[in-house]
A and B are shown apart, each in its own frame.
Chain A
Amino acid sequence: MEVDRADGRTPNQRRPVVCTRGILHRAHGSASWAQGDTKVIAAVYGPKSGTRKNENPEKACIEVIWKPKTGQSGKPEREYEMVMKKTLQSICLLNVHPNTTTSIIIQVVNDDGALLPCAINAACAALVDAGTPLKHLAVAVCCCMSENGQILLDPSKIEEQKVKAFVYLVFPNSIASVLPEGSLRPGGEVTELGILTSVTHGVMAVDDYFSCLKLGRPAAAELSDFLRNSLKLKAGSDPSKAG
């Protein structure tokens, strides 16, 4: 059964993505990521000397600062910072620059649903722009489950507020998932390395969660293709174009 989404998309359809790298001049790396109307700017400074008090000085430290669109930073912002910090810690090579801090600053420009995945994707692109050594990329998608049991991909703000539950999924984007040019992945199967991060809101059954995973994984594979292609272009190319 097809559900009529407000903006005319099908359940399996993401919103158009725009990624721009190198938009800021002072920051070491920067990127803006827009999924439909949701837009986030990420900037990276690092590595800077020294780690914060309770961090392990034998490894690099990742610091995330989340700036909301309006108002003071409160508890939701702290939660986002914590989730992002843990996600990005698992993709960065922490042993390359011990006793340093890499700061990632996220600025929300517009929130129209799927804000945290947008921010994670932006942060990833910004880290690549800064030249931070990474194990692999992180690709984030959002799936939600509507009242009639249908799974929707990449909900907008109105949809997020109406559904029973939604989940933010972050998948690793490793070399194994990129096949040689021209070959289509059969049936959307990707060599699995697991899930990096999964944040759920609301109540959903275990089966529904697995259906969300099944829907999210190929979408993440598409996004990771897009990310790899856009990030492959050298820094010398026009930074105002996508990628």
Chain B
Amino acid sequence: MEQRLATSLIMTVNEKKFIESALLSDIRVDGRRPFDYRTLTITFGSEDGSSEVQLGQTQVIGFVTSQLVQPYIDRPNEGSFAIYTEFSPMADPSFETGRPTEFAIELGRIVDRGLRESRAIDTESLCVIAGKLVWSIRIDLHIIDNGGNLVDAANIAALAALSTFRRPECTFGGEDGQQLIIHPPDVMEPLPLIIHHFPIAVTFGFIGKENIVVIDPTHYEESVIGGSMTATLNTNGDICAIQKAGGDGVPQSVIMQCLRIASVKAADITTKIKNAVESYNTQRSLRKIKRHDPSPVVICGDHDDDVAKHHMERLNLGSDESNDMEIGRKLNENDKMDKRHSIAKGSGGGPASWDPYSRGVDADALRASLGSRVATPPAIYKEESRQVKPNETKSSKQSSLHEVTKIELETSQPKSLKDAVKPKHKRRNKSTSNAFAH
């Protein structure tokens, strides 16, 4: 018992009174206005269907996986999906492993209702063989940091993960044409889910007798609020779900005002999710191009400059990379070689936002440093490439990035890592000989 008390959030009377009295003058503890959301950041993992959402101090990770199962008897031609929420003990000292608490269950139900009842995910397209095989989608939401307002963050994580998830393509084949073949991702491009609309959950907190309303409460505010309401709606103006379970009574007019505010916020958040998903998709398609293009192509000095500018600072010792961006990884290896550490803005989009000629960087210095480390191999690559693909511009440039950095990785390793292991020195010679062999 004592242990549990010690680990839960205990607020002093002074803190509670401070939050309340500040709200009476329309001031929130973190400086926001009553109807402002905290900063929302959506990032994606390296695999399809994994998202990480940060809403102020709250962090939620979402994973989407799929498997083939038998459909429900009463819905033979519809797929299914299920949401599993994990309140990880790392999010809050009062979260424990084992049975989910009623709050965890409620959160799962709110997110589930928003998606299921409003038919946001098209389940009929998940059917493979009616009555026998359908796709079942599993959404795992892990709350890793409890900074308040877990419902909204978890909902966004679920939507983001669903938007980037790809399920394997399956066709009928075999001798009788009845055998089901599931194609792995490198054979056939996996398919995205069909999502009709985004139901966004917006949470309101009600404090005090004057019915002060705040949106997106932090966990400090959550321990002070008397009641809360979560409205799930989409940009079409449809209310998908409303959850107001107990708490203080609130007049009708306040509820209507909240719903109006919620629709504005929902539009906001939907645009943010869509932008994040779009940039992920462009990066993903760039990655696909790199993988399937084995021949060496044009190496332009300009692109190496962009590469240098686009990287994020990492430690010098030990090779590092940025987690989510494939381009980032290549960039870092280039920069290790240059030993230039500058903080650059993250390169958000793909080729659409990439303007090589806007960066004024010293191309010659870079080319010279490239040349000094790896003497002739780049020259060989250049010659071959000019004959091979003169037309493909952007896609080729991506793969050239890949090729260039591949060489640099092998040769720069002995320089950037203080390797005392002898075989690595041998490797340096072998890599240049490999390059010659190409």
Which A residues fall within an 8 A CB radius of B? 2, 8, 10-18, 23-27, 30, 34, 36-37, 39, 41, 43, 45, 48-50, 65, 67, 69-71, 73, 103, 105, 107, 109-110, 184-188, 218-219, 221-223, 225-226, 229-230, 241-243
Cβ-neighbour of B145 out of A8, A27, A185, A223 (below 8 A): A27
B90 & A41 in contact (Cβ 8 Å cutoff): yes
B187 interfacial by beta-carbon distance below 8 Å: no
Chain A residues within 8 Å of B47, by CB: 110
Q: Is the beta-carbon distance between A24 and B59 smaller than 8 angstroms?
A: yes
Q: Is the CB of A45 within 8 A of B45?
A: no
Contact A107 B88 (CB under 8 A): yes
- Least CB distance from B23 to A in Å reads 22
Chain B interface size, as a band, is: 35 or more
A17 touches which one: B3, B52, B320, B431 (CB < 8 A)? Answer: B320
Known: A69-B63, A222-B417. A39 touches B323 (CB 8 A): yes
B146 close to A (CB within 8 Å): yes
Question: What are the residues of chain A within 8 A of B101 when measuring CB–CB?
Answer: none
- The answer to whether B314 touches A18 (Cβ under 8 A) is yes
* CB contact under 8 A between A16 and B3, given known A26-B146, A45-B93, A229-B315: no
Assembled-state Cα–Cα distance A225/B90 (Å): 28
Q: Which residue of A lies closest to B409 (CB)?
A: A8
B313 near A241 with CB under 8 A, answer yes
Q: Residues of B contacting A50 with CB < 8 Å? A: 2-3
Q: Which residues of B contact A30 (CB under 8 A)?
A: 90
Within 8 Å CB of A67, what residues of B? Answer: 86, 88, 142
B40 to chain A, nearest CB (A): 16
**B45 in contact with A26 (CB, 8 Å):** no
Known pairs A12-B423, A25-B145, A27-B90; A49 contacts B6 (CB<8 A): yes
Whether B65 lies near A25 (C-beta < 8 A) is: no
Report if B427 contacts A (CB, 8 A). yes
Q: Which of B7, B50, B89 contacts A105 (CB 8 A)?
A: B89
Which 7 pairs from chain A and chain B are nearest by CB?
A: A226-B318, A43-B90, A188-B420, A105-B90, A16-B321, A16-B319, A25-B57
Q: How far is the CB of A105 from chain B (nearest CB, A)?
A: 4
Q: Which residues of A contact B145 (CB under 8 A)?
A: 24-27
Contact A110/B89 with A230-B315, A242-B314 known, Cβ cut-off 8 Å: no
- B45, A110: Cβ atoms closer than 8 Å: yes
Q: How far is the CB of B368 from chain A (nearest CB, A)?
A: 25
Q: A12 near B421 (CB under 8 angstroms)?
A: yes
Q: Is B260 interfacial (CB 8 A cutoff)?
A: no
B335 within 8 A of A: no
Q: Kindly state the separation between the CA atoms of A243 and B318 in the bound complex, as whole angstroms.
A: 12
Binding site for A on B (CB under 8 A): 2-3, 6-7, 45-47, 50, 52, 57, 59, 61, 63, 65, 84, 86, 88-93, 97, 138, 140, 142, 144-147, 313-315, 317-323, 329, 332-333, 406, 409-410, 413, 417-424, 427, 430-431
Interface CB pairs A-B, < 8 A, 6: A10-B410, A12-B423, A18-B322, A65-B97, A218-B421, A219-B421
In angstroms, Cα B57 to Cα A207, docked, is: 51
Q: Residue of B at shortest CB range from A104?
A: B90
Asked if A70 and B138 sit within 8 Å, CB to CB, the answer is: yes
A221–B318 Cα gap in the complex (Å)? 11
Q: In this complex, what residue of A is CB-closest to B333?
A: A16
In whole Å, how far is B57's beta carbon from the nearest beta carbon of chain A?
A: 4
In the complex, are the beta carbons of B423 and A16 less than 8 A apart?
A: no
Give the Cβ gap from A81 to chain B, nearest Cβ, in Å: 11
- Bound together, the chains give a CA A17 to CA B61 distance in angstroms of 21
Bound-state Cα–Cα, A16 to B417, Å: 11
Q: Which residue from B46, B88, B140, B144 sits with its C-beta under 8 Å from A37?
A: B46
With A17-B318, A24-B145, A41-B144 given, is the CB distance from A222 to B419 under 8 Å? yes
Which residue of the partner chain A has the closest CB to B413?
A13
Given A69-B140, A226-B317; A184-B420 close (CB under 8 Å): yes
Q: Which residues of B contact A103 (CB under 8 A)?
A: 89
Q: Which residues of A contact B92 (CB under 8 A)?
A: 26
> Which residues of the other chain, B, contact A43 by a CB distance below 8 angstroms?
89-90, 144
Residues B144 and A107 in contact, CB atoms below 8 Å apart = yes
Is the beta-carbon distance between B323 and A34 smaller than 8 angstroms? yes
A49 x B420 contact (CB < 8 A):
no
Q: A26-B147, A223-B318 are in contact. Are A16 and B329 (CB under 8 A)?
A: yes
B84 to A, closest residue via Cβ: A70
Complex Cα–Cα for A70 and B61 (A)? 11
Which of chain A's residues have a CB closer than 8 A to the CB of B427? 10, 12-13
CB-nearest residue of chain B relative to A214?
A: B421
Chain A residues within 8 Å of B147, by CB: 25-26
Cβ–Cβ < 8 Å partners of A185 in chain B: 420
A123 to B57, CA, bound (A): 21
